[in-house]
Amino acid sequence: DSGVTQTPKHLITATGQRVTLRCSPRSGDLSVYWYQQSLDQGLQFLIQYYNGEERAKGNILERFSAQQFPDLHSELNLSSLELGDSALYFCASSVDPEGRGLYGYTFGSGTRLTVV
Amino acid sequence: DAKTTQPTSMDCAEGRAANLPCNHSTISGNEYVYWYRQIHSQGPQYIIHGLKNNETNEMASLIITEDRKSSTLILPHATLRDTAVYYCIVRGRNSGGSNYKLTFGKGTLLTVNP
């Protein structure tokens, strides 16, 4: 157990639907990162939050959004889902905004999203 | 961030040392070398990082050449559970904006054989 909790572990939904993925960071970590991993794209950075504020944005589609709440958990919202959104979605956390702490980034076990 | 080059795959016998190379010839003075690994479909796991000195922890050793243009991750006694994709990542020390992210390449698939 890495200390980063992601729910749900698996999600199957239909095209056009909206889903919410949840991430609880490791205790004491203020920064949360979201990554998408599909078979043909590898690990792609989506977005980073630090202490409730958006810090960096990567290749995140406009149909996707995220936020970090006062208790530091984060949610990734995916809407108007397409078949190509099927992927593993990982959340990572770090104690500092640059992930240069002793443990670097700590990743959760991911949410496997299947869009049918 | 500097680009890295790693072999696509490597094999290693169980119990032997696994030496995973990484080239980062365009690395700049303030960039660190990070190593992560990903066991099939699990979340990536931090292994080690360094700037210019060799580093060792309970998982592995990191050897960085004097010119810092390449490095080697050493797993001293590989086990079957070390079979994974290993990612070498170079990232700035005082990065700002979007450079806070870790950029993962394709990595090296290390297969440890019995």
Q: Is the pLDDT of residue A88 over 70?
A: yes
Burial annotation B78-110 (CB, 10 A radius, 16+ → b, else e): beeebbbbbbbbbbbeebeeeebbbbbbebbbb
Mean of the per-residue pLDDT values for chain B?
A: 90
Strand order in the sheet with B55-56: B18-23, B70-75, B61-64, B55-56
Using one digit for the tens of pLDDT, what is the confidence trace for A24-68?
Answer: 999 989 999 999 999 877 899 999 998 999 988 888 999 999 999
Which among A4, A104, A109 has CB closest to B34?
A104
pLDDT reported for residue A96 = 73
Least CB-CB distance to B43: which of A58, A103, A109?
A109
> Which residues of chain A make contact with B106, given a CB cutoff of 8 A?
42
Give the up-direction half-sphere exposure of residue B79: CA atoms within 13 A in the CB hemisphere: 4
What pLDDT, in 10s, does the model give residues B17-64? 999 999 999 998 888 899 999 998 899 999 999 989 899 999 999 999
Q: What mean pLDDT comes out for the span A66-78?
A: 97
Interface test with B, best of A43, A88, A96, A102 (most B CBs within 10 A): A43
CB B74 within 8 A of CB B18: yes
Averaged pLDDT for residues B63-68: 95
